[in-house]
């Protein structure tokens, strides 16, 4: 029997796409997910209906150390995705945020360390570990911000950037990021960290707090207003989920060479897009016109973040293959299929419920 891959938060957006790829290739997958986040139950049902034989679903929480240890048995590799994923939620309940993101990650690492043959661990971190990048001076040009420093403008933010955790979410994810790296140093575990930029694609049931690309598309299709926090000129490098799955698979294949390292993973400068610019693209893809509202900047928001992906590219050969227009069209087609993802209103109603359990990004 093939070795099992454990995906925590595997019924979330990225986890569902990763599980589907592995299962389609004949690799057994075990998912540990609380199914607390809106849309995760639908994702889990789709995976179970599509891949009956090789999928095992454990409905539990990464904060349950016993459940995590049980789920770790017989596992060759772990992709730790389960998390509380919203800055806003972390500001409301930092204790909850810490328990899910930091204690949950520690439970995963300790469970892996306790195995007779410890599995390798890939951890999904975030660009928020670099803080607000307040020292990166920007100027408005052509409807978006761009760095004045030509090197940053050409290549993005690299891993030499000092860590500067901002918001409880930044602290909890950043602490977990550092635990994952230290378990390679202190205990010899084979671990690697991917610091993600903005990911989008099918099976993403995003809201205005997290998963904003899907939130924009879904709101357009539902004729719901979109709130822009700040002025809409802020820039992110967005990355289609198929490319993210390729990145995690590169880590699994190359973990022996990547152990103990952190890598920035995003769309890079070719896939950098301003928020308002993205909305205009989504309007073209959906044939709908956005109803825009503006509100004040939110805590920890970066005016400009684009990943320098050179380190990961040089280490693995990975690079994004799907550009913004193609990825956005694919997301719009998925939302237009005959299925019933949660509406923006339903997602807001589920927000309080989700805050009581482990989110899945």
- Residues annotated as part of the active site: 169
- Give strand ranges (E) for the chain: 4-8, 29-33, 55-59, 75-80, 120-126, 138-141, 144-147, 191-196, 198-200, 226-229, 235-240, 261-265, 272-274, 292-295, 304-305
d(CA 207, CA 216): 8
CB neighbours of 161 closer than 8 A, spacing ≥ 6? 130
Q: Is-contact 75 7, C-beta < 8 A?
A: no
Start-to-end Cα distance in the chain: 29
In sequence order, the 6+-apart residues with CB closer than 8 A to the CB of 165 are 128, 129, 131, 171, 174, 175
Closest residue by Cα to residue 328 from 205, 222, 196, 239: 239
Name the DSSP letter for residue 27: -
- Bridge partners of 58, per DSSP, are 32
| SS3 per-residue string spanning 55-118 | EEEEECCCCCHHHHHHHCCCEEEEEECCCCCCHHHHHHCHHHHHHHHHHHHHHHHHHHHHCCCC
CB contact at 8 A, 88 and 209: yes
| Number of C-beta neighbours around residue 330 at 10 A | 18
């Amino acid at each position: 029997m093939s070795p099992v891959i454990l995906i925590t938060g595997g019924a979330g957006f990225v986890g569902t796409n990763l599980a589907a790829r592995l299962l389609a290739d004949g690799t057994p997958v075990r998912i540990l997910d609380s199914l607390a986040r809106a849309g995760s139950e639908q994702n889990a049902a789709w995976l179970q209906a599509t891949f009956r034989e090789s999928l095992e679903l454990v409905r539990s929480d990464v904060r349950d150390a016993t459940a995590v240890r049980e789920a770790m048995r017989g596992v060759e590799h772990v992709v730790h995705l389960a998390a509380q994923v919203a800055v806003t939620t972390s500001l409301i309940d930092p204790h909850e945020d810490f328990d899910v993101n930091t204690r949950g990650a520690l439970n995963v690492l300790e469970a892996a360390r306790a195995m007779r043959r410890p599995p390798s661990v890939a951890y999904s971190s975030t660009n928020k570990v670099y803080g607000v990048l307040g020292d990166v001076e920007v100027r408005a040009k052509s409807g978006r911000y761009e760095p004045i420093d030509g090197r940053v403008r050409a290549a993005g933010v690299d891993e030499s950037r000092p860590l500067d955790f901002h918001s409880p979410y930044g602290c909890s994810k950043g602490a977990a990021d550092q635990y994952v790296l230290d378990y390679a140093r202190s205990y010899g575990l084979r671990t690697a960290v991917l610091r993600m930029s903005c990911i989008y694609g099918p099976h993403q049931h995003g809201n205005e707090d997290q998963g904003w690309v899907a939130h924009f598309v879904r709101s357009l299709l539902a004729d719901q207003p979109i709130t822009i926090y700040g002025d809409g000129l802020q820039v992110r490098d967005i990355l289609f989920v198929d490319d993210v799955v390729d990145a995690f698979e590169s880590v699994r294949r190359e973990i022996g060479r990547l152990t103990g390292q952190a890598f920035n993973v995003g769309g890079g400068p070719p896939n950098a897009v301003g928020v308002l610019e993205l909305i205009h693209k989504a309007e073209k893809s959906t044939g709908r016109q956005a109803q825009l509202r503006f509100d004040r900047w939110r805590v920890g928001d970066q005016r400009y973040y684009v990943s320098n992906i050179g380190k990961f590219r040089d280490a693995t050969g990975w690079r994004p293959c799907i550009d913004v227009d193609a990825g956005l069209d694919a997301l719009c087609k998925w939302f237009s299929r005959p299925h019933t993802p949660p509406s923006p209103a339903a997602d807001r109603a589920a927000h309080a419920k989700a805050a009581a359990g482990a989110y899945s990004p």
